[in-house]
A and B are shown apart, each in its own frame.
Chain A
Amino acid sequence: MISAADVAQDHVPSLTVLPATMGRDGPDVSVEAQLMGGRVAIHLGLDPAAAPRSGDVVRARADARAILHRLEAWTRRLSRHRTESDLSRLNADPNAEVAIGPTLTAILDWSRAAETRTDGLADVTLLEARLAAEGLVAVSGRRSSGSRAWSLRRGPRGASVQRPAGLRFDLDGVAKGWLADRALALAQDYPSAIIDADGDLAIRHASERPWHFAVDGPDGGSTPLAVLRLPAGRYGLATSGTSVHRWQVAGQARHHLIDPRTGLSADRDVVQTTVLAVSARQAEVLAKAALIAGSAAALRLLERHDVYGALLVTIDGELLATPGTLSWLA
Chain B
Amino acid sequence: MTERTRPAARATVTPKGRPDPGPLRLVAGVTGLAALSAIATAVIGGGGAATGVGGQAVAAEAPGPSAPVQHVTRYVQLQPGQTAPPQATVTQQPAPPPRVVVVTTTHQSGLP
Residues of chain B within 8 A (CB-CB) of A37 are: 109-110
Which stretch in B35-43, B45-53, B56-64, B95-103 binds the other chain? B95-103
Q: Could you mark each residue 8-23 of chain A with 1 if its beta carbon is under 8 Å from any beta carbon of chain B, else 0?
A: 0000101111111110
Q: Does B11 contact A (CB under 8 A)?
A: yes
Asked whether A214 is an interface residue with its Cβ less than 8 Å from the other chain, the reply is yes
Query: Counting CB contacts under 8 A, is A232 at the interface?
Result: no
- Contact residues of B: prevailing secondary structure: loop
Is A79's CB within 8 Å of the partner chain B? no
Residues of A within 8 A of B5 (CB): 16-19
Given A22-B8, A26-B9, A224-B13, is A237 in contact with B109 using a C-beta cutoff of 8 Å?
Answer: no
Residue numbers of A with Cβ under 8 A of B are 1, 3, 12, 14-22, 25-27, 30, 36-38, 41, 43, 176, 194, 196, 198-201, 211-216, 218, 220, 222, 224, 227, 237-241, 243-245, 272, 274, 330
**B111 pairs with A199, CB closer than 8 A:** yes
Across the A-B interface, give the 10 residue pairs with the lowest CB-CB distance, nearest first.
A216-B107, A25-B101, A199-B107, A241-B108, A26-B103, A214-B105, A220-B111, A244-B108, A18-B8, A239-B106
Q: B-side interface residues toward A, CB under 8 Å?
A: 1-11, 13, 99-112
Do A43 and B104 form a contact, CB below 8 Å, given A15-B1, A200-B109, A227-B13?
yes
Whether the pair A43, B111 counts as a contact (CB closer than 8 A) is: no
Among the listed A3, A15, A25, which residue makes an inter-chain contact with B2, where contact means beta carbons less than 8 Å apart?
Answer: A15
Min CB gap A246→B, angstroms: 10
